[in-house]
Chain A
Amino acid sequence: MTGPSVVVRSVTHHYGLGRSDDRLALWVDDLTIGPGTTAVLGPNGAGKSTFLRLLATVSSAQAGTIWIGGRDVADQASCTEIRRKLGYAMQPERLPERMRVDAFCDYIAALKEIGPRRRRRRWVDWILHDAGLIDVRRDRIGALSGGMRRRLINAQAFLGRPDLVVLDEPLVSLDAQHRADLIRAIAASAATRSTIVATHHADELASTCRSVIVLAAGRVVFQGTPHELAGCGNGRTWETTVPIDHPSARAVGPDRFRIVDHQPPQAAPAEPSVHDGYVAVVNDSARLP
Chain B
Amino acid sequence: MNDVEVALRAAGETPMRFGPTAGPDEDLWEGRIEENLHLIHAELDAPRPGWLERVLRHIGVPDLTVPLVSATPALRRSWVAATVFALLFALSVDSNSTAIGPDRVVTFLTLAPLVPLLGVALAFGRGVDPTYELLVAAPRDTFRVFLIRCTTVLVASASLLLVASTLLPEVGWYRVAWLLPALALTSITMGLAARRDPRRVAAAVAGAWILVVVVIVQAASASEMFGPAAQVVFAGCAAIGAMVVWRRRGAVEDIR
| Residues of A near any B CB (own CB < 8 A) | 53, 56-60, 76, 79-81, 83-84, 86, 88, 90, 94-100, 102-104, 106-113, 115-117, 121, 125, 137-138, 156
Q: Which residue of B lies closest to A92 (CB)?
A: B130
Give residues 38-69 of B contacting A (CB, 8 Å). 42, 46-47, 50, 63-68
Contact of A115 among B47, B64, B136 (CB under 8 A): B64
CB neighbours of A104 from chain B (8 A): 131
B134 within 8 A of A: yes
A107 and B254 contact, CB distance less than 8 A: no
How far is the CB of A219 from the nearest CB of chain B, in Å? 23
The closest CB in chain B to the CB of A100 belongs to: B47
Within 66-115 of B, Cβ neighbours of A (below 8 Å) are at: 66-68, 70-71, 73, 76
Interface residues as binary, B102-142 with A (CB distance below 8 Å gives 1, 0 otherwise): 00000000000000000000000000001101111111110
Number of A-B residue pairs with CB-CB distance less than 8 Å in the complex they form: 88
Contact between A112 and B140, CB atoms less than 8 A apart: yes
User: Could you tell me which residues of chain B, from 206 to 240, have a CB within 8 Å of some CB in chain A?
Assistant: none
Q: When the two chains form their complex, are residues B47 and A138 in contact, meaning their CB atoms are under 8 A apart?
A: yes
The residues of B with any CB-CB pair to A shorter than 8 Å are 42, 46-47, 50, 63-68, 70-71, 73, 76, 130-131, 133-141, 145, 250, 253-254, 256
Known: A76-B254, A84-B139, A98-B76. A111 touches B42 (CB 8 A): no
Instruction: Determine if B67 and A107 form an interchain contact, defined as CB atoms under 8 angstroms apart.
Output: yes
If A95-B131, A108-B134 are given as contacts, then 11 extra A-B residue pairs at C-beta distance below 8 Å, sorted by A number, are A58-B133, A59-B256, A76-B254, A80-B141, A88-B133, A96-B131, A102-B47, A104-B131, A106-B67, A112-B138, A115-B63
Closest to A166 in B: B137
CB contacts (< 8 Å) of A58 on chain B: these are 133, 136-137, 256
A240 to B64, CA, bound (A): 60
Interface centre among B42, B131, B140, B253 (most CB of A within 10 A): B131
Given the interface contacts A98-B76, A112-B139, A125-B42, does A88 sit within 8 Å of B134 by beta carbon? Answer: yes
Q: Which residues of B contact A117 (CB under 8 A)?
A: 63, 66
User: Is the beta-carbon distance between A103 and B71 smaller than 8 angstroms?
Assistant: yes
Which residue, B50, B63, B70, B138, has most C-beta atoms of chain A within 10 A? B138
Shortest beta-carbon distance from B200 to chain A in Å? 14
Q: How far is the CA of A58 from the CA of B131 in the complex (A)?
A: 12
User: Which residues of A are found within 8 Å of B250, using beta-carbon distances?
Assistant: 76
Query: Contact check: which of B50, B131, B137, B253 meets A107 at CB < 8 Å?
Result: B131
The smallest beta-carbon distance between B90 and chain A, in angstroms, is: 27
**Residues of chain A contacted by B256 (CB below 8 angstroms):** 57-60
How far is it, in angstroms, between the C-alpha of A58 and the C-alpha of B47 when the chains are bound? 31
Given contacts A83-B138, A108-B138, A115-B64, contact A137 B42 (CB under 8 A): no
In the assembled complex, how far is the CB of residue A68 from the closest CB belonging to chain B, in whole angstroms? 12
18 contacts between A and B (CB under 8 A): A76-B250, A76-B254, A88-B133, A88-B134, A88-B137, A94-B130, A95-B131, A96-B130, A97-B130, A99-B71, A103-B70, A106-B67, A107-B68, A108-B138, A111-B134, A112-B138, A115-B64, A125-B42
